[in-house]
Amino acid sequence: MKICTFLLVLITSVTTEGTRAGSHRTRNHRTRSTKPDVSSNRPHIIFVLADDLGFNDVGWHALGGSMIRTPYLDHLAYNGIRLENYYVQPMCSPTRTSLMTGRYVVTNLGLQHVNFSPTDGLCLPFDQKILPEKLRDLGYATHAIGKWHLGMSRKACLPTNRGFDSFFGIVTGTADHFSHKRRVKIRKDGQVGGFYGNSFYVNATPSFDYAGKFCTHINTQRAIDIIKSHDKTRPLFMYLAFEMVHNPATVPNRYKMRYLHIGNRMRRILAGQVFLLNEAVRNITTALKRHGIYRNSIIIFTSDNGGRMFQKSSNWPLRGEKGTLWEGGIRSPGFIHSPLLPTFIRGTVSRQLMHVSDWLPTLVKGVAGGNFSDLPLPVDGYNMWTSITKNRKSPRKVLLHNINPTKPLRDWTGVDEFRWGKVEDLPFNARRQAAIRVGDWKLVTGLQASPVIELPVESTYSLPHDVRNTGWRSAIRLYNIDADPGERYNIASAYPDKVMKLLRKLKQFQKMGQKPIKFRRDSRSNPAYLNGSWSPWLDDK
């Protein structure tokens, strides 16, 4: 999906009814089967997650005069199922957390407001069994490549201790794409300094061996090497979380040179990054075919959040960007491609409502035929496999986008109080930043940043001011997303009963929610104390 791109290659032959997964609780501890069920009939799963890819930064959208081209991704999308009603969280770590746990970040961890930082002491909670652990119990060989961004303060937080047999990539949320080093700015006594160190790991060990090599190239080669050496009697789960197109704005020159006709330098770099991502997926898919895996494969492509305007990403025709609850921050491009799909479904568009939390039950139960009897906590996701592949109605009717109480509304709610009374006395305090979707209806509350629709910078079109901007001094906004995906028309005053119903639904989720976690910078995380790398520092010595 951001949208930042999220690509999943799945290999499957199982079609199970789309039902809610996991309605029970067991003891709060992690469990692992000592005798995995190895089955060569289960699908190989290759999950490729691109980073900060905008909704309009893919060729099969390419609206509003966009010059970005993704020919191979387009080929996969047009010969598969395009997901045009698929949602993620507005930032990197929350989306990855929801993907791995099958749960909303509001009810899961309290990660509804921020990303994990390499200087805090937090990571994915240990009381939850996550996606690779479930798949490994089903006999899968599990490999993670690329960006982790789910915490690394303890050894137990690292991917190889969370269900992956191997890891190759960066443990932080970003790094220089060539040196793989990350700087975190520190402000103290009016001065700006920072912690700086290597972020690249091979398995659970920091590595400097790949310095100077571009991240996407080495990650792609690692994926190809795993495919070559894979024991085909075991199903394969490969999680490929590419760093493209996250900042810093760098890419090898030959990719930028393809887009010299784009005048804006930042847009030219982003277009080159997207084309490199397209090339990487092509090379990996070629390896799948060459080594006899593709014929039993499904490819799903999407993003972790929306694109960023300052990098000249395009979410057109959606409003907003990464970090916001506008559609441009949370609606992701996506597709499923597979030779296993029924012929009648190939080349179609799915408009079934789907969320990133749905992948865990969809993959574990719908694709791999597993169950959730040993999950320590219930999931919020649904098994969407039948809904997607047989074009049946989505079992998901409600989607909680987010509740973020750390960003209260400013004291300018007079326009709302004239219509609604005191917003804090409503069923849900509408001063709080939140968004929820029920059917085609979306309610947005609180202060929302970046309420702008932007055309691609290379576009020769122009937008009227009233289309580009929307009134943002309002705590209560209601949209019919099917009719108004650009969120131009706030129709809350015309449907007060609908507003109250959705506010009550937000209140229900708020009661189940976790308080936002507090991040505290720990000076012991400084790579200068840890042999020059971002490394676990909270383990007992």
Active site positions, annotated: 92, 149
- Return the SS3 of 334: coil
514: how many CB neighbours lie within 10 A of its CB? 15
End-to-end C-alpha distance for the chain, whole angstroms: 40
Contacts by 183-186, CB closer than 8 A, 24 or more apart: 184/117, 184/118, 184/119, 186/521
* Burial of 9 (C-beta count, 10 Å sphere; 0-12/13-18/19+): buried
- Report the C-alpha gap between 11 and 370 in whole angstroms: 15
Evaluated on CA atoms 33, 35, 39, 40, the torsion sign reads: positive
- Residue 175 neighbours by CB under 8 Å, 6+ apart: 181, 182, 199, 200, 215, 243
d(C-alpha 167, C-alpha 132), whole Å = 12
- d(C-alpha 272, C-alpha 42), whole Å: 36
> Helices (DSSP H) in 291-413: which residue ranges?
327-330, 359-361, 385-389
Closest CA to 74 of 82, 65, 66: 82
User: For residue 293, which amino acid is it?
Assistant: I
Comparing CA positions, the residue from 354, 344, 345, 349 lying closest to residue 383 is 354
| 68: its two tokens | 């970005």
In DSSP terms, 437 is beta-bridged to 399, 442
Query: Following CA atoms 439, 441, 445, 448 in sequence, which dihedral angle do they give, to the nearest 10 degrees?
Result: 100
The interaxial angle of helices 265-290 and 71-78, nearest 10 deg, is: 60
Residues contacting residue 420 through CB under 8 Å, at least 6 positions apart: 426, 430, 476, 499
What is the rounded distance in angstroms from the CA atom of residue 114 to the CA atom of residue 112?
6
d(CA 57, CA 266): 13
Query: How buried is 208 (Cβ within 10 angstroms: 0-12 exposed, 13-18 middle, 19+ buried)?
Result: middle
